[in-house]
Chains A and B, each alone.
Chain A
Amino acid sequence: MTTFSQVLSEVAMLLSGPDPDLIEIVGLSLRVSVTATVLACLIGLPLGALLAIRPFPGRGLCTLLINTLMGMPPVVLGLMVYLLLSRSGPMGFLQLLYTPTAMIIAQFALVLPIVAALTRQQVEDSWKDYCDPMHSLCVPTTSAVQTLLWDNRLSLLTAALAGFSRAISEVGAVIIVGGNIDHLTRVMTTAIVLETSKGDLPLALALGVVLMTIALIINALVFSSKGKLA
């Protein structure tokens, strides 16, 4: 049984020198979650804005759906993506299961409803003020979407950040579709789960520290960029 201080000193040692395994895990985590978030924003931002400003039959249902999906447990979503990608599934022929691509797909599906739902709410609120002026200027819908996204850029940056935080911190979806394979699909959260169960607390804790540091750095970057965007 290691003592608490022993654990801490080992954590410090792991973090002081660049450990290749640690770097690989952190790198993959960032690659998967950033890619998933960027893709989710590319679709979720315009989708959310359209839902807010364009009336169409079934709009209420769509809103209800994405708001519900926002709270979907990652394991359930992982399971659905697993079924989709498994050998006998409809997309099994792509042979993506247990690859980083599968993890990106799962996290994309996780982040998309968050970005779309938060965007929809934000854009709907400002649409009350924009509706008449946009109609007055005869702005076509696509341009109105662009205008509202740009004018709400600060709040929407926070929405994207919420999506990214969800992606980088979840474990349920990536462990199911990625399988936590060493040097291939092991990311920070799955590694923490594994190392804790093996009893390697220093490594698990070191990963936890890195995870929190990354969250801090990204938030700080976003926070400082807000001044420039305003």
Chain B
Amino acid sequence: MLPLQIRQLAVCIDNKALLHNIDLTLADKGVSILMGHNGAGKSLLLRCMHGLIEPAAGSLQWAGIHATDINSRHRQAMVFQKPLMLNRSVAGNILYVLKLRNKPKDRLQQHLQTAELESQSRQSARSLSGGEQQRLAIARALACEPEVLFLDEPTANLDPEATQKIESQIHHATGKSIKVIMVTHDVAQARRIADDVVFIHKGAITEHTKAKTFFTTPESKQAHDYLAAYVKPV
């Protein structure tokens, strides 16, 4: 469904312009990463791309189809910053999506496997640990078999091993040529998996660069300062 084309997008809530003058084109497969300070508008932009928010101005199209069109959202899946666990078992959470999307039930096992949750398939999803919930949320999103996967800080608060498991799930997804658009504050992680980086500052995009150049020579001053703060030893 690529390319994603955003033209002069603005989002206002309560008369506050939370996103403004957003111009962005995402044409290539792989992992695009959104970075920026807390409250910069990353989650908001992600939700706009997924068609959950009606923009106040401008346009946002997936290969010519408006993002808010159900036909484009139907081919995407999103893992929210605080993922919702349906009040049922781990398996029940995945089966819910399989049934919703008319996928065969026997794919359950395979999804549980990639999330490494086979042994907990009957446990209540809400009793899983934070990292396990994240893994389940990603597995559930992958069960939709989307063409685009949005991930909003999927590894915040996770230990290195849990982070690694989630990154391997992301690799698994890109391997199936799923476009991944992800928010993260973890610079090291972004370096590991990003193909290109979009930097957002106070509701506007300051740059969109290939990962290689972004981490060595960012174009915008804001991105430079952001990276500098992370590299500095505390």
Q: Using CB atoms and an 8 Å cutoff, list the residues of chain A in contact with chain B.
A: 129-130, 132-133, 135-139, 143, 147, 150-153, 230
Contacts and interface: CB of A to CB of B under 8 A. Distances in A.
A137 B77 CA distance: 7
Interface stretch (B79-87, B174-182, B213-221): B79-87
A198 to B, nearest CB: 51
B135 interface: no
B204 to A, nearest CB: 24
Nearest to A133: B84
Interface of B: 47, 50, 52, 70, 73-74, 76-78, 80, 84, 86-88, 96-97, 100, 124, 144
B87 A129 contact: no
Contact of A139 (B76, B80, B88, B100): B100
A133 B88 CA distance: 16
A66 B71 CA distance: 37
Given A132-B47, A132-B80, A138 B87 contact: no
B124 A130 contact: no
A129 B86 contact: no
Nearest to B77: A136
Contacts of B96: 147
Nearest to B78: A136
Given A132-B52, A230-B124, A137 B144 contact: yes
B84 A135 contact: no
Given A136-B50, A136-B52, A136-B77, A151 B88 contact: yes
16 contacts: A129-B84, A132-B80, A133-B80, A133-B84, A135-B52, A136-B50, A136-B73, A136-B76, A136-B77, A136-B78, A138-B70, A138-B73, A147-B86, A150-B88, A151-B86, A230-B124
Nearest to A129: B84
Which of A136, A137, A230 is the most central at the interface, judged by chain B CB atoms within 10 Å of its CB?
A136
Contact of B84 (A130, A143, A152, A230): A130
Nearest to A151: B87
Given A136-B77, A137-B100, 11 more contacts: A129-B84, A130-B84, A132-B52, A136-B50, A136-B52, A136-B76, A137-B144, A138-B73, A147-B86, A151-B87, A152-B87
A127 to B, nearest CB: 11
A137 B124 CA distance: 21
B92 to A, nearest CB: 10
A133 B47 CA distance: 11
Contacts of B84: 129-130, 133
A135 B84 CA distance: 13
A124 to B, nearest CB: 16
Contacts of A139: 100
Of the candidates A138, A139, A150, the one having the most CB atoms from chain B within 10 angstroms of its own CB is A138
Interface centre among B50, B86, B124 (most CB of A within 10 A): B86
A143 B97 CA distance: 12
A65 B125 CA distance: 37
Contacts of B70: 138
B146 to A, nearest CB: 10
B111 to A, nearest CB: 15
B87 A150 contact: yes
B47 to A, nearest CB: 7
A134 to B, nearest CB: 9
